[in-house]
Amino acid sequence: MKITEIKVILTCPNGRNFVLVKVCTDEGLYGCGEGTLNGNEPVAAKAIEHMAPLLIGMDPRRIEDIWQFVYHWPYFRGGPVYAAAAGAIDLALWDLAGKIAGAPVYQLLGGRCRVGAMVYRHAAGRDPAEAVENVRMFLAEGIKVVRVQQTGGVPGYGGAGTLGIAAPAREGLPGVETFEPSAYLTAVVPFLHDVRAELGDAVNLCHDVHERLTPTEAAGLARDLEPVRLFFLEDCLRPENLAGFRRVRAASSTPLAMGEVFWSRQQAMGLIAEQLIDYLRIAPMHVGGLTEARKIVAMAEFHQVRTAFHGAHDLGVIGQAAAVHLDVAIPNFGVQEWVDFTAMPEVCEVVGPPCRVEDGYAMAHEAPGLGVDIDEAAAAKFPYQPAYMPLVRRADGTMFVY
């Protein structure tokens, strides 16, 4: 079997850009993958197109060897763009392997460890009462874990601590959010205590800091939130400096989660080896695909770190399906972040079917491969729309450095 063509499809159904690939073979079978990189989709697409000629003629069943080739050939190895490109190719090769074997990918990864992957959903509110109401909507659907954020009265990524959003400088550019950590900390600690008091102890709650604190601030927050007994506190620091995580660890027993921006094993190794986190938040497609993700996950297993794979709106149906196949096949699964693509009709027209959630558990597809397909004609109806990540500045205009 030989790779004959790699199609790269850049599409924007339901206002979200996705980078999709089809790896085609001389035997008529093809594999579907995804390399969506939030706010950088055309760059990831170009990287895949750039490496595609090198892969033509290769045997797509040599998944590990192709991964090593894709990682090492550029000389300047790694980076989020090439990792996403490698992930797109890798997901397509696992999809193809499943189709060849006539088995879902989770069977190729060692078979089931569980019925489904427990998911967590996102709730928010301007005040505790509104947040509790939104959490309870998910609990009524059978959801077992809910991330809860304070929205702060103005629309903003970080919610509490967001002092305002300035209009874009011109059409097509992102708005600029003004954020102050002191305002965030003042608001969010009583907010989360009140949410916990209203919901009782049995509900699993997470909270995401979006890397917006210093080590001292994060250590204080983790300590102040100990009585809230979070399922985990997410992204309390920027991840580059392990010393900061050591400080937060020493200050409290609040469980910590980190890793949605990671694109390599090197970024995860220190946090895992020193047991500085409890939950690893990588997305398999962003670290180079299932081939690399399962190695990082095995490393985490050896150090009693569980997974909480990234699964927000910034990755799509194929990346989500691949994550669920790994979720159900690994012993150290923790929880899976979740977006409901079944509620997005244009997305479902382009790529699908999305995985279903039953009583709070995402079900891996049973069809051979990843269990998803791409409709190229439908994708062409929703062309790429330029979109950039939002900017954040301090009240005095300083660029906010996470």
* In the complex, least distance from residue 312 CB atom to Mg ion, rounded to whole angstroms: 8
Q: In the complex with Mg ion, which residue's Cβ is closer, 68 or 214?
A: 214
Using a 10 angstrom Cβ sphere, with 0-12 exposed, 13-18 middle and 19 or more buried, the burial of residue 258 is: buried
Is 210 tagged catalytic?
Answer: yes
Is 30 tagged catalytic?
Answer: no
Token digits of residue 79: 């980076």
Count, residues near Mg ion per rule CB under 5 A: 4
Q: In the complex with Mg ion, which residue's Cβ is closer, 41 or 260?
A: 260
Token digits of residue 246: 């050591």
Vertex 377 angle, CA 376 and 380, to 5° = 85
Q: In the complex with Mg ion, which residue's Cβ is closer, 208 or 224?
A: 208
- Phi and psi torsions of 70, nearest 5°: -65, -35
**Can residue 314 be called a binding residue for Mg ion (CB under 5 A)?**
no
* In the complex, least distance from residue 147 CB atom to Mg ion, rounded to whole angstroms: 9
Length of the chain: 402
> In this structure, which amino acid lies at residue 311?
G
> Considering 210, 286, 310, 365, which one is annotated as catalytic?
210
**Can residue 235 be called a binding residue for Mg ion (CB under 5 A)?**
yes
Q: In the complex with Mg ion, which residue's Cβ is closer, 234 or 292?
A: 234
- For residues 196 to 225, the per-residue mask of contacts with Mg ion, x marking binding by CB under 5 A and - elsewhere, is ------------x-----------------
* In the complex, least distance from residue 171 CB atom to Mg ion, rounded to whole angstroms: 28
Residue nearest to Mg ion (CB): 235
Q: Across-strand partners of 335?
A: 308
Q: In angstroms, rounded to a whole number, what is the distance separating the alpha carbons of residues 21 and 91?
A: 9
Q: Within 245-304, which residues bind Mg ion (CB under 5 A)?
A: 260
Answer yes or no: are the C-beta atoms of 291 and 64 closer than 8 Å.
yes
Long-range pairs, 25-30, Cβ under 8 A, ≥24: 25/1, 25/60, 25/96, 26/1, 26/2, 27/1, 29/1, 29/96, 29/99, 29/100, 30/92, 30/96
Q: In angstroms, rounded to a whole number, what is the distance separating the alpha carbons of residues 297 and 265?
A: 10
> Considering 157, 193, 313, 384, which one is annotated as catalytic?
157
Q: In the complex with Mg ion, which residue's Cβ is closer, 235 or 327?
A: 235
Answer yes or no: are the C-beta atoms of 337 and 308 closer than 8 Å.
yes
Residue 1 contacts by C-beta under 8 Å, 6 or more apart in sequence? 25, 26, 27, 29, 59, 60, 61, 100
* In the complex, least distance from residue 217 CB atom to Mg ion, rounded to whole angstroms: 17
Annotated catalytic residues are: 157, 210
Chain contacts with Mg ion (rule: CB under 5 A) = 208, 234-235, 260
